[in-house]
Structure formats: structure tokens, C-alpha cells
A and B are shown apart, each in its own frame.
Chain A
Amino acid sequence: MRRTSLTVLILSLMIVLLVSITLAITLGSVDIHPRTVWRIALNHVPFLGEWTTEDWTRAQHSIIWDIRFPRVLLAAVVGAGLSVVGVAIQSLVRNSLADPYILGVSSGASVGATLVILFGAFSMYGQYALSVGAFLGSLLSIVLIFSLSRIGGQNSTVRLLMAGIAISAILSGVTSLIIFSAPNEHGIRSVLFWLSGSLAGAKWEYLTIPSLVVLVCLAVLLAQYRSLNSMLMGEESASTLGVNTVQFRKLLLVITALLTGVIVAISGSIGFVGLMMPHIVRVIVGSDHRRVLPVSALLGAIFLIWADALARLSFAPEELPIGIITALCGGPFFIWLMLRSSYSFGGGGR
């Protein structure tokens, strides 16, 4: 599979992504033809809009353009972002078991976001307050976890996971404590809904920051793909290959915190995607980050679009928290991976 041309793979995944977006938008309580979806979309593009004739109802327009489009696109952005942050954090800690959810980085973001929602912290940043709060929370927790796991020299998997579990537990406790002492009922309910992970709140204006952050971080990581590869050989080996490991580690810490913060701010904590996607992708294309990064982003986007569609539709009109879907897919997937003799978390058994 390594020989599969990267361009062909990426182009086909892009087509699948476009088809998924279209289909996911047509799905729902009101049936809508795929052609209508794109005609409404084109209608909003400057200059092109004049070329399309409006043969849809106002209700259809509002369902598609105001509700389903932003939601499906947000699913794509969040899915891509979670997968990319999974790749980054796995290279940072050089361990394929790492993901922001498992290591407690998401919990840190949740603390920040909860403070913003309930107490209006960072209100000087206006509409960006939630993102800023979540970013600072995740930065704090990842720096804590990372430095704890490195005390006394080499960082081992066990130390890292122990630090992650401890920090995660502490921060979840802090979140609960904040909610417990919160002044208003309404705020509490919105925090609880948001904590369980959901894309239901999607609006066009919420899309800008996450999309930009995901794209910029993906571009920065892609530009550094050689350093990411070298880091997987071990930090000391990486430095003999010309990587400025001290600076590069800081860059990865900031990128991980930024991506996690922004994503948690918009969608709550959605688990397993950041862990699952890089694994699947490595099985398909190997470990070279030039391949892993774009393919993970695309596959993550596609996966979360369908996970969210499932969350919307399976118990309609009730909506499942999307975290349930990702956990129900992710758990069995990992057991299956484990049982495959040829694969042991990154390939140690090959």
C-alpha cells in the first residue's frame, strides 16, 4: 500500500469528502435532493449566485444553508483537527497511545471553557473568550503532563500515561467543582450538554476560527514533516539529524494546545478520533508524516461527518451525543486492531 501514489489517494479522499458533505446535508427529517444542496451553496458565492435560479422554498433554504451546512462543515473541521492533533501529540510524546482525550489535554480545555461559560472569564476577548479559555486550559494541562512525565530523565510510556490520567482526573474534578459552585441553572445545563460533546450548536460564524486554526496548524506541521519523522526515532536521534529539539518540542506543545483548545471550545470533548485515525492511516500509508498528516485530516473529516449524521438520525428527533458514536466505533475498532496479530500499536510486532 505504501506505493499507492499519495496524490491519487488524497484526490480520491477529497472526492469522498465532497460526496459525504453533500449526502450528510441531504439527510434529515426533511428530504432534500443533492442537486439542490449545491445550487443553494452556489447561490451564496458572489457573482455565481446570479446564474442559479431559485426553485427552492424558503424553509428548504434555511434548513440547508443555516442549519445543515454549517453543522456538516463543522463536523469536517473538527474531525480533521482531532486527527491532526492526534498525529502531533503522538509524535511529541513518541507514543502511539497518546491522544488529547486520553492524556487529559481535553480536560484542561474543558476547565477553561467551563470557567468562560459559567463565570464569564476572559470576557475581554469578546466572542473569542471561549477559545482563549479552552486554549489556555489545554496549554496548562499539556505542559504539566509533559514536564511531569520527564522528571528524572527519559520519559516512559507508563509515566506519561500515569501523569495524563492523574492530570485528567484532577481537571475533571475541577470542572465538576466549578459546575457545582456555579451561580445559575441555565449555565449549568449548557455546560453539561457541551461537555458531552456535540456539534448541534454549529453556526456559520463559529466556523471561521476552527477552520483557520486547523488549516494553519496542518500547514505548519506539513512544513515540518521531516522533523516529525525524525522525532519518532527518539529525541536524541532527532537532534543528531539536525532537529532543534528544544524549539520543535515547544512548537508541538503550542500546536497541540491550540488545536485542542479551539476544537473543545466549539464541540466539547469528543474522544477516540484523535487516537483512531492516525492508527488507521499508518496501517495504510506507513509512518511518513508527509503522507500521514493530509490523509489523517481527510479521513478524520469524513469519519466525523458520518458519526455526526448517525448521531442526528439514529434516534431522531432526539439527538445522541456524538461522543457515544465515536466511543462505540472506537472501542471495538481497537479491540479488532489488538487481535490482528500483524499489528501491535504502531507495528512493534511486525
Chain B
Amino acid sequence: MKLVASDITVSLTNKRIIHDIGMEVKEGEFVGLIGPNGSGKSTLLKSIYRVMKPTAGWIGLDGDDLYKLSPKESARRMSVVRQESSVEFDFSVQEIVMMGRSPHKKTFQLDSVEDKDISDKALARVDMSDYAERSFFSLSGGEKQRVLIARALAQQADFLVLDEPTNHLDVRYQLQVMDIVRQLGITVLSALHDLNIAAMYCDRLYVLKEGHLVASGSPDEMLTSDLIREVFGVETDVSVHPITGKKQIYFISTAFQAKGIRTAEVSSGP
């Protein structure tokens, strides 16, 4: 078992944000975390990547108490791609990726040829080799996200945590970023806001609502009209897509729901 979280509770200024959540991520799994805004996805992830210590509960990484690991040790085992707030300082792409090597370095150790090699390979895996000398600022959203994934790869951890990696990206880059992550072949835990993306890429889903774990299981089990109505408060038409064989969720706005009912009435007329 890669990650085990049991009875996690997170409170901020006496307000509980996460209530007794338990979850597991197995070696090699791609696990998604879904739920509406404010359901606690990011907070749960933060407590897993050690930025927000749970007020109660236990998190184990490879069987060790996560919060007892040194910061460097946990960075060698788990890499994180966050929703990056704007970076005010200018770094080159290569410098950003090289930051991923820092948990492997001692205080006075300089970057070695091996470090350079690892960071070059990480850039190649996200198809950004030509951008090594470019300024991080000059990149598009999708390119930035790929560089941050390369930085995570340079950490050589076999557990990757992603916080809404496709946020603000064009459709093409959403798929590209997710394809890259899927192909890495490492254990992934990701918060996702797009249910179709979750259906396409995840092995298992955890569904959160108002800080509680509502359900968990395979995307096929989780992504039903009933559950989506209960958690997200929207009507959907869920089918299996003929090409991907994955669940496909179509959202029906309330305006069309009314129309739908009327046409149904007309057709069922005398």
C-alpha cells in the first residue's frame, strides 16, 4: 500500500474542514479525488503533502508515519504539482526543473552531471526539451504545467500528488497533461474538477462533499446520475462512450430540463 490515510480530520480556526476521512492508494494506481468547490479536495491533499497538518488521524507513506519523515525524505518519496500561484521571480525552465533535485542534495553539494542528466530526461518526458533555456514566464499555461510535472519527475519520487492539474488549460492541453501523467507509470493521487477527465483516466475515485467522504469506487460505479445529483446538484445524462469505453457525462441545465419534460408530455399525448 503506497498511501494510507485513516480518520483524517482537519480544522481551521475551530471550523472542521475535513471530517474523519479514510483513503488508500495502492502501488501504481491512479486515484482521483472529485467533489464540488469547497468540498475539501485541496485541503485533504494539503494534509497529504504536509502543508496542513491534520488535527486528528494518521497518514502513512510506504508504511511510515508521513509526518515523522524529514522534509527531504518525504520530498524524495512524494512529489507534488500544485495549482501554482503566480511566481513573481523569473527562472529559466531548466532552473525550475533542477529545483526538483534539491531534496537529493546535501548542503554544500553542487549540481552534478547526473542531476543535469535527470533534469534533461524529465524535460524530455514532458516533451519540453527545446524550452530548457526559456523563461518560465514566457510559457503558456499548459507548458508551465508540463514544466512543473518535469520538476516533480526530477524529484524521482514514485508517488505523485496533483492538485487540479488541468485547471485553466485549453482542452488540448488538458488531455496532453493527463496523458503524460498516465504514461508515467507511477502512483498518482489527483484532485480533479472535470468529471469526464476523471472518468477517462482514473482507476478509482473518492467523492467528497462538504468535507465528508461520500463514496469511493471505480469511475463506473461512482459516476452515476444519482450520485452526481446528490453531490454536485446537477442533472446529467451518463452513457458509455462508444470509442473510449469510458463513462461520459452530459450535463443538462435546468432550462432544458423544463423543455425536456414538456416535449415528453407532447409526445405522450393522445
Q: Is A348 an interface residue (CB 8 A)?
A: yes
**Which residues in B have their C-beta under 8 angstroms from that of A328?**
none
Q: Is A319 an interface residue (CB 8 A)?
A: no
Q: Is A224 an interface residue (CB 8 A)?
A: yes
**Which residues in B have their C-beta under 8 angstroms from that of A282?**
89-90
A229 in contact with B88 given A236-B51, A240-B51 (CB within 8 Å):
no
Q: Is the CB of A96 within 8 A of B155?
A: no
Q: Is the CB of A239 within 8 A of B92?
A: no
Chain B stretch 61-108: residues in CB contact (< 8 A) with chain A:
70-76, 78-80, 82, 84-92, 95-96, 99-100, 102-103, 105, 107-108
Stretch from B117-125, B132-140, B197-205, B243-251 contacting the other chain: B132-140
Q: Is the CB of B49 within 8 A of A240?
A: yes
Q: Is A232 an interface residue (CB 8 A)?
A: yes
**Which residues in B have their C-beta under 8 angstroms from that of A245?**
71
Nearest chain A CB to B134 CB, angstrom units: 10
Nearest chain B CB to A337 CB, angstrom units: 14
A241 in contact with B90 given A224-B107, A287-B95, A288-B95 (CB within 8 Å):
no
Nearest chain B CB to A294 CB, angstrom units: 14
Give bound CA distance, A347 to B134, whole Å.
13
**Which residues in A have their C-beta under 8 angstroms from that of B99?**
226, 229-230, 233, 241
Q: Is B116 an interface residue (CB 8 A)?
A: no
Give bound CA distance, A282 to B70, whole Å.
32
Give bound CA distance, A282 to B90, whole Å.
8
**Which residues in B have their C-beta under 8 angstroms from that of A286?**
90-92, 95
Nearest chain A CB to B129 CB, angstrom units: 17
Chain A stretch 179-196: residues in CB contact (< 8 A) with chain B:
none
Nearest chain B CB to A323 CB, angstrom units: 28
Q: Is the CB of B103 within 8 A of A287?
A: no
Q: Is A223 an interface residue (CB 8 A)?
A: yes
The majority secondary structure among interface residues of chain A is loop
Q: Is the CB of B80 within 8 A of A243?
A: no
**Which residues in B have their C-beta under 8 angstroms from that of A350?**
90, 135, 137-138
**Which residues in B have their C-beta under 8 angstroms from that of A96?**
88-89
Q: Is the CB of A243 within 8 A of B89?
A: no
Nearest chain B CB to A217 CB, angstrom units: 15
Nearest chain A CB to B266 CB, angstrom units: 55
A94 in contact with B49 given A239-B71, A242-B102 (CB within 8 Å):
no
Q: Is B212 an interface residue (CB 8 A)?
A: no
Q: Is the CB of B88 within 8 A of A241?
A: no
Q: Is B50 an interface residue (CB 8 A)?
A: yes
Q: Is the CB of A230 within 8 A of B102?
A: yes
Give bound CA distance, A288 to B91, whole Å.
7
Nearest chain A CB to B144 CB, angstrom units: 12
Give bound CA distance, A233 to B50, whole Å.
16
Q: Is the CB of B71 within 8 A of A232?
A: no
Give bound CA distance, A237 to B74, whole Å.
13
Closest to A90 in B: B89
Q: List 23 A-B contacts (CB under 8 A).
A: A95-B88, A232-B88, A233-B87, A234-B84, A237-B80, A239-B71, A240-B79, A240-B80, A241-B99, A241-B102, A242-B72, A242-B103, A244-B71, A245-B71, A286-B95, A287-B89, A287-B95, A288-B91, A345-B88, A346-B89, A347-B135, A348-B88, A350-B138
Known contacts A95-B88, A242-B75, A346-B90, then 13 further A-B pairs from the complex at CB < 8 Å, ordered by chain A residue:
A96-B88, A96-B89, A223-B108, A226-B99, A227-B102, A229-B99, A232-B89, A236-B82, A237-B80, A240-B51, A241-B75, A282-B90, A286-B91
